[in-house]
Amino acid sequence: MPHTEREELTPKESNQLLLPGSHPPMWNHMDSIGPTGLPHREGVPGCSQEGLPYPSNSSELVLECLQQFKVTGTQLQQIQASLLGSMEQALGGQASPASAVRMLPTYVGSIPHGTEQGDFVVLELGATGASLRVLWVTLMGTGGHRMEPRSQEFVIPPEVMLGPGQQLFDFAAHCLSEFLDALPMGKQGLQLGFSFSFPCHQTGLDRSTLISWTKGFRCSGVEGHDVVQLLRDAIKRHGAYNIDVVAVVNDTVGTMMGCEPGVGPCEVGLVVDTGTNACYMEEARHVAVLDEDRGRVCVSVEWGSFGDDGVLGPMLTTFDHALDRESLNPGAQRFEKMIGGLYLGELVRLVLAHLAQQGVLFGGCTSPALLSRGSILLEHVAEMEDPWAGAARVHALLQDLGLNVGASDVELVQYVCAAVFTRAARLCAAALAAVLSRLQHSREQQILQIAVATGGRVFEQHPRAWGLPGPGPGGTNFRVLLVRVTAEGVKITNQIYSIPENVAQGSGQQLFDHIVDCIVDFQQKQGLSGQSLPLGFTFSFPCRQLGLDQGILLNWTKGFSASDCEGQDIVCLLREAIGRRQAVELNVVAIVNDTVGTMMSCGYEDPRCEVGLIVGTGTNACYMEELRNVAAVAGDSGHMCINMEWGAFGDDGSLGLLRTCFDASVDQASINPGKQSFEKMISGMYLGEIVRHILLHLTSLGVLFRGQQTQRLQTRDIFKTKFLSEIESDSLALRQVRAILEDLGLPLTSDDALMVLEVCQAVSQRAAQLCGAGVAAVVEKIRENRGLEELTVSIGVDGTLYKLHPHFSSLVAATVRELAPRCVVTFLQSEDGSGKGAALVTAVACRLAQMARV
């Protein structure tokens, strides 16, 4: 994680930042924020006059407010180290000082191996806040196969959550009976697993004493008692069914145990729902309370209480303090209150109420709903922060709160939601890094290869936030898709799988076996096991294609270097891996690369699409060439899609005049020096490295960072290409530059941020213009082939750099207009492009094959 120390302004320094006509900095008022934001005071009216403009420095006020939610790299490292220390202290049984986390053994000694079978009832309490769930689960005992569980959710009334404990467990027993009454089975000999998601002291698989309530529950007569026995007593009082409570686990243990077999050893469970917690498989000899020398045991970290000892103090905002004061358990579960879904909406509400009272939002007006606790829920925040939700949807959600929403309010509210979610994700990542560090140390392994099972509504409703950089090995991803092409359109179901770095750079057999394992896992989840399906293979590396289902890999790019693949038919390697996996029937019909797949995908919607362009980790293009011009293929009429593999353009030295010493440095440090010259000047895998080398050079000249070199800046790949997109964003640009550089541990001056912005702009602008020049050459070639005065053509485009960089796409289009003025070019961004396109190629191939057999 980044080594950094954030510059903080003291109140004395902050008062010196006043500009003519501006308000005092926001933190001068925030010491008295309550559940409704700031109290009304003289000079801070509850609702400014209609039509009154926002303060001229409203954006600055928002930024000052949201700066409180910034967590630096150094602070994340401190959290990781402090949590790790608390974990080890609790494992060792040290009574004094009291550990910040409990590290409770769960008496689960092994993970599932896939042969378990039987019918089971499950009761979940506490995982999803004010509800409980009953499930019927059938395990088939065949390689982890299981029937989709039947379930029913019951809302727990507030008076039950806060009333006597007997009332709560009687309610649970009633829900169990209501659920089972609807199922066709007997009333005897039912086995139940109890998922109870609160801190407990467990003394056996079916014995668990509640330590304290969390997540809004406060039932009397339960703390200090065995919750399994309380449930058994309630079931007996109800008398309808003979149910044996076999085991009690919390939701993190259940999540880990429920991880699908076949994706690697899953020995960590992480839940971010109403609350948050993690568990992992610890060596039993390290758990002092067990007095065991052999085996492993699942330990519930109970990290929600981390920080109750004050260690999180510098990271707590005034809004965190206000939320804690109004909670059911002030001073407790401080870490959970910064991450858990029960609290994120309330944090956003407090910030919005405060900004409205400052005259920054909603015309200075609040509303009864905005001033009411619990009016903004997790799902509201996730939807407002979602970049795909659209301004109209955010506007509607705010109007539902009775707010007068102005033109600039939507964007500012989205900034608030993003700040709260981003902090939660970074804190969670730091805590998970502590758990993984503990596992690595206890196993005495240099490299830890492990799967983490995740669950909870925060993950499900806001997956983008949890894509933030966090702990874990490097690598890349690939997708498996199920594509249904019908007269009504294309329906796609997909899942992303990770390729660990050691697999991407290991043996070819290991790589293709991993791919097949993931395909089989996907088939099982989609209920397609045993079916023979046509498979289209999107393979985005340079290949010499000999047929629709034959492709010889010329060389690896993009960080892959799996052995025994170059010079081999990739389709054969995939078929051999399928053959090694028993009872798998897949027919590899077609191989395409991502550019062809993208072109085909967009061509399904727009028949004028005759060019495919990828600008992501790598870059490439394809286009429809006149068959008479392709010497390697017989025929004089028709067209043929040509995969250009333009990433290798310049390997013959033709780009020498454009290459800089920084390009040369990046090339020499790559795994393929002297190759893919054009790609290394354009694609997302390399732009961040080019910027880093320039910053190193300017620092050595004393122009940047006071001439102070840091170890972080000298670390390869530390300056991610995604930073360019963030830095060059039209909004908050210089502040984003400052935040990113602080996380790299760089000593900043006020001029440094602007200079780094200019470096990023120069590197990305050159990349976009080079890409545009390549596109211009392609469309001009098509126009000349056809002898046209003017060509109208569409280009299907995919790739993260093209899609996510704020200016890349417009710079490419402008360059094409300048260099190919006689071509009218429309750029179509592809969604699920290469996968959908590969399915279309496969569908056509199957249709032609069927016609040939007739």
Contact 267, 255 (CB under 8 A): no
- Say how far apart CA 127 and CA 145 lie, in whole Å: 24
User: Which residue is associated with the tokens 């659209």?
Assistant: 390
Catalytic residue list contains 479: yes
- Say how far apart CA 187 and CA 180 lie, in whole Å: 9
Contact 145, 121 (CB under 8 A): no
Number of Cβ within a 10 Å radius of residue 688: 20
C-alpha to C-alpha distances, 117 to 63, 243, 678, nearest whole angstrom: 55, 18, 56
- Say how far apart CA 236 and CA 381 lie, in whole Å: 42
Residue 34 DSSP one-character state: B
Catalytic residue among 285, 479, 659, 817: 479
Task: List, as one string, the DSSP characters of 516-580.
Answer: HHHHHHHHHHTT-TT--EEEEEE--S-EEEEETTEEEE----TT---BT-TTSBHHHHHHHHHHH
Contact 268, 71 (CB under 8 A): no
Question: Helix, strand or coil for residue 372?
Answer: coil
Q: From 756, 679, 691, select the one nearest 721 (Cα to Cα).
A: 691
- Say how far apart CA 245 and CA 173 lie, in whole Å: 12
Catalytic residue among 206, 386, 594, 743: 594
Residue 163 Rama label (left phi>0; alpha psi -120 to 50; beta): beta
Work out the angle between the directed axes of helices 378-385 and 391-399 (0-180°, nearest 10).
Answer: 150
C-alpha to C-alpha distances, 662 to 122, 202, 695, nearest whole angstrom: 60, 59, 10
Catalytic residue list contains 594: yes
C-alpha to C-alpha distances, 27 to 22, 66, 72, nearest whole angstrom: 14, 11, 19
Surface-to-core class of residue 88, CB atoms within 10 Å of its CB (0-12 exposed, 13-18 middle, 19+ buried): middle
The first and second tokens of residue 664, run together, are 């040369």
- Say how far apart CA 548 and CA 852 lie, in whole Å: 15
Q: Do the bridges between strand 200-204 and strand 207-210 make them parallel or antiparallel, or are there none, so unpaired?
A: antiparallel
Peptide bond into 97 cis (omega under 30): yes
Q: From 418, 407, 350, select the one nearest 54 (Cα to Cα).
A: 407
Question: Helix, strand or coil for residue 113?
Answer: coil
Q: Which residues contact 467 (CB under 8 A, 6 or more apart)?
A: none
Task: List, as one string, the DSSP characters of 190-207.
Answer: EEEEEEE-S-EEEEETTE
Catalytic residue among 208, 540, 601, 725: 540
**Between the CA atoms of 845, 846, 849 and 850, what dihedral angle is there, to the nearest 10 degrees?**
-150
Name residue 349's amino acid: R
Which active-site residues does the annotation give? 479, 540, 594
